[in-house]
Chains A and B, each alone.
Chain A
Amino acid sequence: MIFLFIVVVLLISLMEIIALSPKNNKKDLAVFIALAFFTLSLGIIYFIYQEHLSIADLIIDAISRKAGGINP
């Protein structure tokens, strides 16, 4: 359901961007598509892993590895 909600919001935003500036919107559209692609990819990863995914853990792990610490 939440994934559907995300897709609907993205589509509404896409319609907005096309409707608001139909002529000179190439750059806006490119940035929008990049951001939408990133959001959707992250959304799909989140909905696959659900409770097992923790961005905070990934960042903390990366920092502790860089600092030479062991963090299983």
Chain B
Amino acid sequence: MSIKSEKISVRQAMLILLVLTYSPCMRLIPFYTAQKANQAAWLSPIISFLCILVLVLMINSFYKNYQTKEVSFSDIICDVLGRFSGKLLIFMYIIFLIFLTAFYTRFLGERLVGTLFTGTDTRFFIIIVLVFVSFLLNKGLVVIARMSEIVFFILLIAFISISFFLIPNIDIKNLTPISYLDIFPVARASVGVTEIWSYYTLIFFFTDRISNFKKIKKTGLQIAFFSLAIMIVLITTCIGVLGSEIVKLSTFPYIQTVQMISIFGVIERVESVINLIWTASDFILIGVFSYITLHLIKFLFNIKNIVPFKNIFLVLTFVISSAFVTHEFKLLDFSVIVLTPAIMFFCYGVPIILFVVGKVRGKI
């Protein structure tokens, strides 16, 4: 692919993961966890952290046998499940990723229309983003990785500053009481957090483009600890400021939370900064998912040159995202009813199946 063959480091791959999970975190986690666990939602990342530790160790065990070769996750799937079943699963991954990319593209458009550019046609933003993604795909994975590094530091500084400014607005009553009765709601809420973290699996579809793969376990664990801290802060600020009842009903709870910031009555409307970073994160996310999908199409059909497919894939994404929903509220419904189970299956369930089958067949 153009989509050139230069390699990126494990650290860069993990930074891509952190940047691309920012947008889904802001979209889903406050809303989902508040719906399932109310005031105890901020505890849900702890259970998810344990789940993600299992995923990190499991994926690390896959690569122990393949460390000397340049293999991607798709190669491992075909090796463990057999050629036919593996290719069938890869085909399902392509369908899943096309829908996921289209979903995030539409959500980006709806968010910009809903928060900043009221009354504008959503398709306008969708076309602009997809044209830029087309440029990004031309430049290849190295540029995506370097962009992610820059976006990550901006994102981190903005997130820490905003969380700091939100501290005075947090009401402890919104986060308590906590009792043993909250264990099951917290476990249910943790599904949403685990879902987002399990995008970790998708990064492994381009491991043939990642160098120094021995560090994957260490870096993966560092990322898991870092994400745990970020998630707890995110949920605590949203629910602590707005209360779980408001978060449950809100389409963009994090933006509503940030709207509460007022520094000495002088600096307000900070949500525009969040929108900017959110758009950058969405852009990276759509770019990376498009890259992975094209990578998988190349693998599945054994295509020599994937560059001509880039445009047609983006047109397909445009058509699906335009026809995705008739109303923005349906996006959240779709996210909870369809996407959550689908992501859990493809990003968490499949590695478990692979691990079990691999152990039985002696491949792992």
Is the C-beta of A70 less than 8 angstroms from some C-beta in chain B?
no
Chain A contacts with B in 24-41, Cβ cutoff 8 A: 24-25, 27-28, 31-32, 35-36, 38-39
Identify the stretch in B16-24, B34-42, B314-322 within 8 Å (CB) of chain A at 4 or more residues: B314-322
Is the C-beta of A59 less than 8 angstroms from some C-beta in chain B?
yes
Q: A9-B312, A59-B334 in contact; A25/B304 too (CB < 8 A)?
A: yes
Q: Which residue of A lies closest to B131 (CB)?
A: A9
- B334-A46 in contact (CB<8A): no
User: Count the B residues whose beta carbon is within 8 Å of the partner chain — how many?
Assistant: 32
- A12-B330 in contact (CB<8A): no
- A57-B330 in contact (CB<8A): yes
- B338-A46 in contact (CB<8A): no
- B316-A16 in contact (CB<8A): no
Is the C-beta of B263 less than 8 angstroms from some C-beta in chain A?
no
Is the C-beta of B177 less than 8 angstroms from some C-beta in chain A?
no
Docked CA distance A53–B323 (Å): 6
Is the C-beta of B360 less than 8 angstroms from some C-beta in chain A?
no
Residues in B neighbouring A25, C-beta threshold 8 A: 304
Chain B contacts with A in 317-350, Cβ cutoff 8 A: 318-320, 322-326, 330-331, 333-334, 337-338
- A39-B308 in contact (CB<8A): no
Total number of A-B contacts with CB less than 8 angstroms?
100
Question: How many Å from the CB of A51 to the closest CB on chain B?
Answer: 6
Q: A25-B304, A63-B338 in contact; A35/B309 too (CB < 8 A)?
A: yes
- A32-B330 in contact (CB<8A): no
Looking at the complex, which one of B309, B319, B324, B331 makes contact with A43 (CB distance below 8 Å)? B319
Is the C-beta of B302 less than 8 angstroms from some C-beta in chain A?
yes
- B323-A54 in contact (CB<8A): yes
Docked CA distance A32–B311 (Å): 11
- A28-B308 in contact (CB<8A): yes
- B312-A21 in contact (CB<8A): no
Q: Which residue of B lies closest to A11 (CB)?
A: B311
Residues in B neighbouring A12, C-beta threshold 8 A: 311
- B308-A32 in contact (CB<8A): yes
Is the C-beta of B146 less than 8 angstroms from some C-beta in chain A?
no
Looking at the complex, which one of A13, A20, A46 makes contact with B312 (CB distance below 8 Å)? A13
- A13-B311 in contact (CB<8A): yes
- A57-B325 in contact (CB<8A): yes
- A20-B308 in contact (CB<8A): yes
Is the C-beta of B53 less than 8 angstroms from some C-beta in chain A?
no
Q: A56-B331, A57-B325, A63-B338 in contact; A13/B309 too (CB < 8 A)?
A: yes
Is the C-beta of B301 less than 8 angstroms from some C-beta in chain A?
yes
Is the C-beta of B179 less than 8 angstroms from some C-beta in chain A?
no
Looking at the complex, which one of B297, B304, B305, B311 makes contact with A9 (CB distance below 8 Å)? B311
Question: How many Å from the CB of A50 to the closest CB on chain B?
Answer: 9
- A9-B315 in contact (CB<8A): yes
Is the C-beta of B160 less than 8 angstroms from some C-beta in chain A?
no
Q: A31-B303, A38-B316, A42-B320 in contact; A56/B308 too (CB < 8 A)?
A: no
Q: A39-B316, A46-B322, A52-B326 in contact; A20/B307 too (CB < 8 A)?
A: yes
- A60-B322 in contact (CB<8A): no
Q: A6-B315, A54-B330 in contact; A16/B324 too (CB < 8 A)?
A: no
Looking at the complex, which one of B315, B331, B334 makes contact with A10 (CB distance below 8 Å)? B315
Docked CA distance A9–B315 (Å): 8
- Which 8 A-B pairs have CB atoms at the shortest separation, nearest pair first? A17-B308, A56-B334, A16-B308, A13-B311, A46-B323, A39-B316, A56-B325, A54-B326
